[in-house]
Every structure is written in structure tokens, then in C-alpha cells.
């Protein structure tokens, strides 16, 4: 293995210049004669020279790497976000290092961040949708560029979020507009901010319409828990409209309703959240709320780059509005 590639000095020797000139060419420094630049480039190509990021990171104090800390990158939301972040970062010349953690508790998060800091990442994006993550973040060194995504709105940390409240309100309002007398809610885990925000928005919409929100049914994002809630909902004749905290829950609810012979949307209307690619092919196609993950990724990366370049750690905040996607799972209530 050990065969190390050529270094800058090898390129310099071949091009008949000093290694510093090579460095200048590489970094696009203006004061290099065109002819020299060409000779250096030729030497680089001939040797197949590849700059050593470690050496550069050592001397500049920062690598061109952005660390991402996330929990369950198999879920659609986090996975999309991660992919979008990676794309955006690549366009800016940054690599993305993933530090996924089993739990979002203080210890796990700190450990993941430490790992990233060891590699002298330029900045860190924490996808920290749960309460316990918040504390961990406050104790981190203040001097490292950091952005949280879907984190705790009450903490003084730069934050980019999907506007869960607005999304949930839109979903609920959509059902009310269709003529439903009230809307039931199957929620996500109570320690996720996403979940809390969606409950909030649902409640707001009902209260604004002068309605008393029924008790939300707790879930855990999975189709399995949606199914369990669906079995209960199917047995309650007064239920005509359900808003679930994500599409997987909705899928479970749909199946339970189907099994109990309750037709959607004829008997019960259902709205989800996330717009997973399959939502359009549920039975029936699911009306849902689509968060713009690309926008979130762009916003957080831009925030991070600003911090990296300026050196200031301003506590900014940015919110991305989701959009309602209307499909066939919503209809007027049966009289």
C-alpha cells in the first residue's frame, strides 16, 4: 500500500519552480505568470499530483470537511436532509463526514462532536430533533461554527427548521375546510420538536376555529404505531378526519381503516406529513405536507459558511415553510 503519491515539491521540481509557486497556482493566487501557471498545471497532470488535505488542514487549522451529527439516517426526513446537505456542501468544495448516533443524549452527541472536532472539521451541522440534544449543544465549545437543524427553538443556537407549526396548521385547516367538525391527531414521539410543533399547529388550527382539540394519540413515527392508533380510530364512529404526524403513521392508519371497512376518504379523511415519494401511491393517494429539505440544507450550509468565513457565531434563525400537497385521501365528511 504504502506508495505515497507525489508531493508539492515533486511538482515544483518538474515544473522548475519553487513549491510555493505550486501552492499559489493551486490556490488561485493572482500573481502568477500565465506561462508558469501552465507549466505547473502540466506538471500536476503529468505526475497525477493530488494535494494533501491533511497537511493543508494542519497548517490552516481547518479542513474542508463539514461534520454532520444525526440520529436515524434511515428515516426519510433525516436521510433526505443528509443527502441534500452533502450535495450542497460538495458544490462549495466541502466534504461531509457523518457521525450518526444511536441516541440523541448528551453523551452520544458530545462524543460525536468530539470525533468531528478531532478531525478539525470546518463546522458542524447537528440534526437534533429531540429535547435531550439541546443540553449537549449548550456545553459545546463556543468557538466552533455550528448550526442545528430542527432543534430546540428556545435555545440560543443558530437554527434552521421546517415550520412544523405552519405545516400542521395547514393540514388541519385543509380538513376543516373540507367540512369536518373536528380533526383527530396521531402524533410523533413527544420528545421530538417536530412532533411538538405539529401537535401545536394542529391545536392552533382547531382552537382558531373555536373547537376543543381531542386528545392526540401518541405514536413513534412508525407504520406499526400508526396501525395501532388506526385500529382505535376505526372503532370510533364520530371520527371523520385524522391528521398524522408523518406519512408512515398515515400508512398504518390507512391499513387499519381498510381492515375495519372504513373507506378513505368516504368515511374518514387522512392527512400525513413529509410527502415521502410513495405517498402518492398509498391507497388512496395521501394528502400530505411537504417540507423542502433542499431549502433547509441550503439555508443551514449557508449559515455555517457565513460563520466559518466571518468568524462570528451569531445566533441566527431561519424557518422554511412546508407546502400542502392535496391528493385523494381527503374529502367532505359523510353526513
Partner DNA sequence: GACGTCTCTGTTAACGCTAACAAAAATTGG
Partner DNA sequence: CCAATTTTTGTTAGCGTTAACAGAGACGTC
Q: Which residues bind a copy of itself (CB under 8 A)?
A: 1-5, 50-55, 57-58, 61, 63-65, 72-74, 76, 79-80, 82-83, 86-87, 90, 95-100, 102, 114-120, 141, 143-145, 222-224, 226-227, 248, 251-252, 254-255, 258, 277-278, 280-283, 285, 307-308, 311-313
CB of 52 to DNA, least distance (A): 3
Helix axis angle, 8-15 relative to 34-47, nearest 10°? 120
Among residues 1, 2, 3, 59, the one that binds DNA under rule CB under 7 A: 59
Measured from the CB atom, is 56 or 155 closer to DNA?
A: 56
Q: How far apart are CA 225 and CA 227, in angstroms?
A: 5
Pick one of a copy of itself, DNA, none as the site partner of residue 290 (Cβ within 5 to 8 A by kind): none
Q: Is the peptide bond before 14 cis (omega within 30 degrees of 0)?
A: no
CB 297 within 8 A of CB 87: yes
Q: Is the peptide bond before 78 cis (omega within 30 degrees of 0)?
A: no
Measured from the CB atom, is 97 or 319 closer to a copy of itself?
A: 97
CB of 78 to a copy of itself, least distance (A): 9
Pick one of DNA, a copy of itself, none as the site partner of residue 227 (Cβ within 5 to 8 A by kind): a copy of itself
CB of 144 to DNA, least distance (A): 15
Residue 127 within binding range of DNA, rule CB under 7 A: no
Residue 161 within binding range of DNA, rule CB under 7 A: no
Q: How far apart are CA 212 and CA 207, in angstroms?
A: 6
284 Cβ contact list (under 8 Å, min separation 6): 254, 264, 265, 327, 328, 329
| 304-330 exposure pattern, b = at least 16 Cβ within 10 A, e = fewer | bbbbeeeeeeeeeebebebebbebebb
Burial of 197 (0-12, 13-18, 19+ CB in 10 A): buried
Residues in 26-45 at the binding interface with DNA, rule: CB under 7 A:
26-27, 30-33, 35-36
Pick one of DNA, a copy of itself, none as the site partner of residue 322 (Cβ within 5 to 8 A by kind): none
Amino acid at each position: 500500500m504504502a506508495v505515497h503519491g507525489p508531493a508539492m515539491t515533486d511538482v515544483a521540481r518538474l515544473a522548475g519552480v519553487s513549491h510555493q509557486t505550486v501552492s499559489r497556482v493551486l490556490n488561485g493566487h493572482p500573481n502568477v505568470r500565465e506561462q508558469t501557471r501552465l507549466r505547473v498545471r502540466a506538471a500536476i497532470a503529468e505526475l497525477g499530483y493530488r494535494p494533501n488535505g491533511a497537511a493543508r488542514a494542519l497548517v490552516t487549522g481547518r479542513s474542508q470537511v463539514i461534520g454532520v451529527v444525526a440520529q436515524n439516517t434511515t428515516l426519510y426526513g433525516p436521510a433526505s436532509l443528509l443527502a441534500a446537505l452533502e450535495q450542497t456542501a460538495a458544490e462549495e468544495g466541502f466534504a461531509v463526514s457523518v457521525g450518526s448516533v444511536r441516541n440523541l443524549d448528551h453523551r452520544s452527541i458530545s462524543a460525536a462532536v468530539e470525533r468531528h472536532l478531532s478531525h478539525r472539521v470546518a463546522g458542524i451541522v447537528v440534526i437534533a430533533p429531540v429535547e435531550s440534544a439541546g443540553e449537549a449543544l449548550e456545553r459545546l465549545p463556543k468557538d466552533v461554527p455550528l448550526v442545528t437543524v430542527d432543534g430546540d427553538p428556545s435555545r440560543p443556537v443558530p437554527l434552521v427548521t421546517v415550520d412544523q407549526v405552519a405545516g400542521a396548521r395547514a393540514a388541519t385547516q385543509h380538513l376543516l375546510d373540507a367540512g369536518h367538525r373536528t380533526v383527530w391527531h396521531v402524533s410523533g414521539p413527544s420528545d421530538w420538536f417536530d412532533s411538538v410543533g405539529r401537535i401545536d399547529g394542529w391545536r392552533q388550527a382547531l382552537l382558531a376555529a373555536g373547537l376543543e382539540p381531542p386528545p392526540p394519540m401518541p405514536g413513534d413515527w412508525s407504520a406499526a404505531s400508526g396501525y395501532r392508533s388506526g385500529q382505535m380510530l376505526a372503532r370510533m364512529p364520530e371520527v371523520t378526519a385524522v391528521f398524522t404526524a408523518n406519512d408512515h403513521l398515515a400508512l398504518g392508519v390507512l391499513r387499519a381503516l381498510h381492515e375495519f371497512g372504513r373507506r378513505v376518504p368516504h368515511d374518514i379523511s387522512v392527512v400525513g406529513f413529509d410527502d415521502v415519494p410513495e405517498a402518492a401511491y398509498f391507497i388512496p393517494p395521501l394528502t400530505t405536507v411537504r417540507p423542502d429539505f433542499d431549502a433547509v440544507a441550503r439555508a443551514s450550509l449557508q449559515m455555517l459558511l457565513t460563520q466559518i468565513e466571518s468568524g462570528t457565531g451569531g445566533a441566527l434563525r431561519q424557518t422554511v415553510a412546508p407546502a400542502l400537497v392535496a391528493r385523494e385521501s381527503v374529502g367532505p365528511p359523510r353526513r
